[in-house]
Amino acid sequence: MLENILASVKGLGLLPDWPEWALDILIIMSILLAITLVATSFYTPEDEKESTETVGEKRNPKTEDTKKKSHKELHNEFDSFRRSYIVVYLVIMLADWMQGTHMYTLYLSYGVNISALFLTGFLSGAIFAPFLGSAVDKFGRKRSCIVYCILEIVINTMEHSTDFTTLLLGRVLGGISTNLLFSAFESWMTTEHRRRGFPEEWLSRTYAEASIGNGAMAIFAGILAQVLEDNFGHIGPFQGAIALTVLALVLVLRWEENYGEEKSGNHNKSSLYTQFIDGWTTTIKDSRVWRIGFTQALSEGAMYTFVFMWVPVLLSQDPPGGVPTGCVFAALMMAITMGGALFPPLQSLISSIFSKAVAPEVSASLIYLVAAASMVIPPACMSGILQHDDCFTIIVISFLIMEFCVGLFMPVAGTLRSKYVPDSQQGAILNIFRLPLNAIVVAGTYATDVFEASTVFALVSACLLSAALLQASLINDKVPRKKQD
């Protein structure tokens, strides 16, 4: 039946002149994505089916008035809040993806030292990460999101210059903005979610939607960036990113502010130095927090290393017709989207087998384990350990499985961060997490130049396996979770 569908789609004559294997993968992934989205649209999380009284008990509301809200009113309020966050998140991620897809080609057209620029960005991120998080908590998450938008507008404007010093300064600012991107927005959302008294279980749904949307934006970014490049040159995608960031800035201005000391009633109570020390103290003393941090660093570091490797590995296999990277990229992003869509039902399944208390920990352990297994396949094929007539197809499938797992561990990692990281130190601790992440990314980038591809994939698998074991260590942790400050 599937062969008939593929033949019918190809028979329309509307598809690009890509190799048959690439078209097959794209069509199959499109069909699977459509089935996944339709199937999950009928799925209703158990917490949405609960009575008003049950929901009221789980919410731990801040005031008596919130207890009196009906389930429908509560759900409508949450949907409005979730949309306000997701829309901003999708806009900034679309802008970010558009830059990432064409930054290399832009610098190549300028004839500058590309590796020096990228390394500067990583080092800047590592240097500023420990301090930026405390500033996010101290001066406000909304203000930090506004600063991010302004920095991105400035950075993308600087990309118009061919002067190496200007571009280098842009990469320094880029390291700062990247830290804000992956700490300020999430910190604002989780704190605001709790401040409004929504159930903890609903956080995972926001993370899942963000993961689905992130994959969709990546697919759309590739197409939109290409259209802008065709019409405005290599700088076109960056001009589009400026327009999108301005839109995000306007939307963020409508948010309410929250801080790291919301409950204290005075966000100026602690100095920036105190916030900085408190963040590091919590991270070091609470083993659950640093285990979550190292798990994130290992898994995301492995993911970024994989991103560096998949194109040259596929090219080395010399498939018939070559490798249309845009086509394969779209298929990989569809896999991420499917993972995000399937996270809520997977979480419910794990909860029914184990318990809600440890469902995120169990889910994360299994996801990282599957990802680690998928990354064993490429080196096994390339070294000849795995003998098969069509090793190329097996490698592509392993890449799709890896990206499917990425779509799953993005929401589960967010759920675990919200569970273990205190609200008052969200910004500080999330940026501390980026220190080992940047170190692993730099090491992974270096490894791609020094070792054979099969060795690099083995290291990626080892990182993911370590993440699975580290995450599993939290499953039976009986120490009660620290109350949110």
pLDDT of residue 132: 78
C-beta neighbour count of 253 within 10 angstroms: 11
- Across the chain, mean pLDDT equals 81
Alpha helical stretches, state H, 354-452: 359-374, 377-382, 391-420, 426-450
What are the extents of the domains in the chain? 18-41+81-472
**CA–CA gap between residue 262 and residue 306 (Å, rounded):** 39
Residue pLDDT, tens place only, 272-324: 566 667 777 887 888 888 888 899 889 988 998 888 788 788 888 888 887 77
Q: Look at the chain and count its residues.
A: 485
**CA–CA gap between residue 355 and residue 450 (Å, rounded):** 45
52's tokens: 């008003």
CATH of domain 18-41+81-472: 1.20.1250.20
Query: Helix, strand, or coil here: 194?
Result: helix
Q: How far is CA 283 from CA 312, 420, 421, in A?
A: 38, 10, 9
Tell which wins on pLDDT, 425 or 347: 347
Q: Under a CB-based contact definition with an 8 Å cutoff, are residues 438 and 349 in contact?
A: no
Single-letter amino acid code for the residue at 208: A
Residue pLDDT, tens place only, 208-264: 888 888 888 988 887 788 788 888 888 999 999 999 999 999 999 999 998 875 544
| 70 — pLDDT class (breaks 50, 70, 90) | low
The string of DSSP codes covering 252-312 is HTTSPP--TTGGGT-TTSS-HHHHHHHHHHHHHH-HHHHHHHHHHHHHHHHHHHHHHHHHH
Helix (H) / strand (E) element for 126: namely helix 114-139
